[in-house]
Amino acid sequence: MKGLKKLSKRFETLMTAVTFAEAGEADTAREILEEDVKPEAKTAKKSGRDYTSDLAVNAAGSK
């Protein structure tokens, strides 16, 4: 159930950003998407090493 809530929240955020983008508010849409990506930057353990999510790194570099 936790995954479904996360997916639902992500979908809601994306649709909000789309609405702003369609209304000509691209900067606001970008801000909404950037705020949504921030939690993805958490580090996690993998094979005994810390790493940053590839999604967070790619999103941060695509400005």
pTM for the predicted model, two decimal places: 0.57
Residue 58 lies in a domain: no
Does residue 53 belong to any structural domain of this protein?
Answer: no
Is residue 49 in some structural domain?
no
Strands of the chain, DSSP E: 43-46, 49-52
**Interval 25-45: pLDDT, tens:** 999 999 999 998 875 555 555
> Residue 24 is part of which domain span?
1-37
User: How does the average pLDDT of the chain come out, rounded?
Assistant: 77
For residue 2, the surrounding DSSP H or E stretch is helix 2-22
Residue 21 forms part of a structural domain = yes
Q: For residue 14, is it within any domain?
A: yes
The answer to the question of residue 13 being in a domain is: yes
- CA-to-CA distance for 23 and 31, rounded, in angstroms? 15
Domain count of the fold of the chain = 1
